[in-house]
Amino acid sequence: MGRQDRGDDPRDAYRRIRKPVPPPGGPMPDRRRRFEEEFARREMNEAGDPRYADRFEAGRLLADALRGLADEDVVILAIPRGGVEVGAEVARARGWPLDVVVPRKVGAPGNPELGIGAVAPGVQILDETMVRTLGVTEEYLRREIAAQEEEIQRRSEAYRRGRPPAQVEGRTAVVVDDGVATGGTAAAALRWARAQEAAKVVLAVPVAPRESIERLRPEADVVVCLMTPPHFYAVGQWYREFSQTSDEEVIALLDEAAG
């Protein structure tokens, strides 16, 4: 069919994602990025700036949306790092225990920001279409997955500081993040909670694109998302303050929750 049939073009996988990243062989034009940013700015202006002040405000609003779980045996499983700030506020407001679940993105060769899958302890999810399109080898996948699993182990131990993981079996596991973009790491976290035999698995996030939420619905029993803006560019655009959360801040929040 020739080059006009983009199904045969390895750059097509890059074009389909929302985050503008440079595909192999040259930079991606930023026309789409400017288009989406302009629509997002217009939407914010028309809505009177619907952004959250910060992750803690988002957590308080999310806690209110989860009040229907008040009579259940709930454990909050926050996704580090920013998700821990949101999850800590939910746990504090509702009096629920807080722990972490640490999924990691499986990055593409030469472009680690482009996710071709995600892993959590004992869970692996791969975008087989993306893997085939980019010609990712089995050897690369083994190395990348092993590296991410090692990082999961390191972070889990560092964050808990010797504390055992929270019990998930038989409880309502609420997986919390500060937002969802493509949903790969959220899906891995939800599958991990399911594998721990949680009685109910809930995804709770302040913001996400509608299409990502629809993809995640089969992974959870309940999905709570406060805002699904039609013109979504990145999670951070929906917060007025969105500085990077440090490992030290995560540890302090978990220490506080543990008492």
pLDDT score of 164 more than 80 = yes
Domain range for 19 is: 6-46
- Average pLDDT for residues 142-171, to the nearest whole number? 97
> Where do we find the tokens 């055992």?
164
pLDDT at 47 over 90: no
Task: Categorize the per-residue pLDDT at 259 as very low, low, confident or very high, splitting at 50, 70 and 90.
Answer: confident
CATH number of the domain residue 71 falls in: 3.40.50.2020
- Do 250 and 224 lie in one domain? The reply is yes
Please give the radius of gyration of the chain, using alpha carbons only, rounded to the nearest integer: 19
What are the tens digits of pLDDT across the range 21-35?
A: 444 444 444 555 555
Confidence of residue 16 (pLDDT cuts 50, 70, 90): very low
pTM confidence score:
0.82
Packed helices 55-65 and 82-94: angle between N→C axes, nearest 10 degrees: 40
Let me know whether 18 and 89 are in one domain.
no
In what helix (H) or strand (E) does residue 223 lie, and over which residues does it extend? strand 222-227
Predicted local confidence at residue 31, as pLDDT: 53
- DSSP secondary structure code for residue 28 in this structure: P
Task: Classify residue 53 by burial, with Cβ atoms within 10 Å: 0-12, 13-18, 19+.
Answer: exposed
- My answer on whether 22 and 72 are in the same domain is no
The total of structural domains in the chain comes to: 2
Percent of the chain with pLDDT over 90: 79
pLDDT band (50, 70, 90) for residue 49? confident
Q: Does residue 90 share a domain with residue 15?
A: no
**Token pair 């990348």: residue:** 144
Length, in residues, of the chain: 259
Q: What are phi and psi of 41, to 5 degrees?
A: -60, -40
pLDDT in tens, 71-126: 999 999 999 999 999 999 999 999 999 999 999 999 999 999 899 999 999 999 99
Residue 201 has a CB neighbour count (10 Å cut-off) of 23
pLDDT-derived band at 43, boundaries 50, 70, 90: low
**CA–centroid distance for 163 within its chain:** 24
